[in-house]
Amino acid sequence: MNPIFTSGPSLQHRLALALLLSVALIVLDHKFNSFSSTRVYLNSLVSPLQYLANLPGEMLNASAARLASHQRLLDDNAKLTLQATLMSEQLQRMTFLQAENERLRRLLNSPVKTNTRKVVAELMAVDNNPYSHQVVINKGALNGVYEGQAVLDENGIVGQIMQVSSTNSRVLLIADVTHAIPVRVARNNVRLVVSGTGSLDELDIQHVPHSTDLQVGDMLLSSGLGKVFPEGYPVATVTTIVRDETRPFAQVKAKPIAQLDRLKYLLLLWFEETPGTTSESPEESVNP
Amino acid sequence: MIFKHYTIALSIICALVLQIMPMPGFVDLYRPDWVLLVLSYWTLALPHRVNVGLAFIVGLTLDILLGTSLGEHSFAMCLSIYVLAANYQRLRNYSVWQQAMVMGIMSAFYNLILFWLQHMLTDVYFLFTYMWPVLSSMLLWPWLFWLLRKLRRQLRIN
């Protein structure tokens, strides 16, 4: 039965109120960022929905893993053993080089670099919001994740933590329009800033003078200048350079090294932890 | 029966889950606006229970789930639901196919408002692919309408 006389304010008043509230929220949230602390609780509040939405995919993955053939497991095992052998050889050399590097740095009186704490996280969901590139991972404030933390995959830098909730958190990818990362060219240490274009396999390098020594194929490493990303991790390779003299700057495009459309396991890095505290870390953290 | 009292809430929760469920990229482009469609049905069927107020809350939840700045989805959702709630008597008399057309227009309206808001806040550019949900929402409406009406009639929700 429809009541003839509706209770409460009229529809127009409700609309006006709701729109005013929305605009106020947008301004407060976007311009003044006043909800950054409340967001943790809000995100935790809705995270059951995210787990629910992730369930079918998880179940499919689980059943696929259960049905994996014996032969494929053997193949995988052989491949991984080979990889582990190669890696451990590199690791042996690495420890030697690290010791040598430390000694040389001492000689130069430069600060010795310490190992940072790392945690492996797994991808939970990819956002379907077409206007931004974000993913959700399964580690949150309870694991010590903080806003602005660097996120890597096995190839290179993926992005940074944008919002944290108690058990999961949201990563802004380097390909997002609103993201930029300071880098340097591995070959000659030229400093640049790489910003996202909104497309997953293209990054944009802005404000490059025509005379900059930059070549196609140059590897771009994070420079650590923004105090967000640690120094020396691969970010992108330069793909095209258009030096059109009628324009104020050269137009340079790059391709991210991390495979942003094929993320599965991600690595969280703790930037510049105070030296000597690397030993205290939960059991899932990896300390080389 | 306890289920009866929560049907509206449960259907909206289902829609939210479907809206954020991870999908392969190709299917993702055609994801219909589940939440908008379900809210629209309840607005047309029971405008005294579901209208702008609930649209605001659900829009806000969507904002949190999708990581957009708070208020964007609620703004678009409130405007779309308002149009439906103001014209529910006329829209109820349309055939399902005419309603599907109207829902397509509402979905376009909703997605365009979202795009404009996003465009004002960040520098995103318009791609035609942003409009595929309009088509899929239009095609989904008759089935969703049939399903929810069956649910509403069997459980006698009013």
Check residue A288 and give its pLDDT.
40
Average pLDDT over residues B97-108: 93
Contacts 24+ apart (CB under 8 A), B123-132: B123/A177, B124/A131, B124/A132, B124/A177, B124/A198, B125/A198, B127/A130, B129/A130, B129/B29, B130/A130, B130/A131, B132/B29, B132/B30
For residue A103, tell me if it sits in a domain: yes
pLDDT over threshold 80, residue B55: yes
Check residue A285 and give its pLDDT.
43
For residue A32, tell me if it sits in a domain: yes
Q: Are residues A52 and A85 in the same domain?
A: no
Q: How many CB atoms lie within 10 A of CB A208?
A: 18
Check residue A44 and give its pLDDT.
84
- pLDDT confidence bin for B104, thresholds 50/70/90: very high
CA distance B71 to chain A (A): 4
* C-alpha to C-alpha distance for A170 and A173, rounded to whole angstroms: 10
The predicted-structure confidence for B73-88, as pLDDT tens digits, reads as follows: 999 999 999 999 999 9
Chain B window 1-60: which residues touch A at a Cβ cutoff of 8 Å?
13, 16-23, 25, 28, 31, 47-48, 51-53, 55-56, 59-60
Q: Are residues A165 and A188 in the same domain?
A: yes
Contact B21 A53 (CB under 8 A): yes
Contact A49 B17 (CB under 8 A): yes
Q: What global pTM score does this model have?
A: 0.75
Check residue B80 and give its pLDDT.
94
Check residue A1 and give its pLDDT.
47
- pLDDT confidence bin for B1, thresholds 50/70/90: low
3-state secondary structure chain B: CHHHHHHHHHHHHHHHHHHHCCCCHHHHCCCCCHHHHHHHHHHHHCCCCCCHHHHHHHHHHHHHHHCCCCCHHHHHHHHHHHHHHHCHHHHHCCCHHHHHHHHHHHHHHHHHHHHHHHHHHCCCCCCHHHHHHHHHHHHHHHHHHHHHHHHHHHHCCC
Q: Are residues A55 and A186 in the same domain?
A: no
- pLDDT confidence bin for B13, thresholds 50/70/90: very high
**Ramachandran assignment for A186, one of left (phi > 0), alpha (psi -120 to 50 degrees), beta (any other):** alpha
CA distance A93 to chain B (A): 41
For residue A6, tell me if it sits in a domain: no
pLDDT tens-digit profile, chain A (288 residues): 455 556 677 888 889 999 999 999 988 888 887 777 788 888 888 888 888 888 888 888 888 888 877 888 899 899 999 999 999 998 989 888 988 888 888 888 777 666 778 889 988 877 767 778 888 898 988 888 988 899 998 889 999 998 888 888 889 999 998 899 999 999 999 999 999 988 888 999 988 998 888 999 999 999 888 888 888 889 999 999 998 888 889 999 999 999 888 888 899 988 664 444 343 344 444 444
Check residue B139 and give its pLDDT.
93
For residue A2, tell me if it sits in a domain: no
Contact B85 A50 (CB under 8 A): no
Contacts with B127 (C-beta within 8 Å, 6 or more apart), sequence order: A130
Q: Are residues A109 and A122 in the same domain?
A: no
Check residue A277 and give its pLDDT.
39
CATH number at B40 reads 1.10.1760
- A18 and B CB contact within 8 Å: yes
Q: Are residues A149 and A254 in the same domain?
A: yes
For residue A3, tell me if it sits in a domain: no
What is the residue range of B19's domain? Answer: 2-155
- B112 and A CB contact within 8 Å: no
What is the residue range of A93's domain? Answer: 71-113
Tell me if residue A15 falls in helix, strand or coil: helix
Q: Are residues A96 and A125 in the same domain?
A: no
Chain A window 155-194: which residues touch B at a Cβ cutoff of 8 Å?
162-163, 170, 177-178
Check residue A131 and give its pLDDT.
79
Check residue A3 and give its pLDDT.
55
Number of domains in chain B: 1
Check residue A6 and give its pLDDT.
60
Check residue A284 and give its pLDDT.
42
Number of domains in chain A: 3
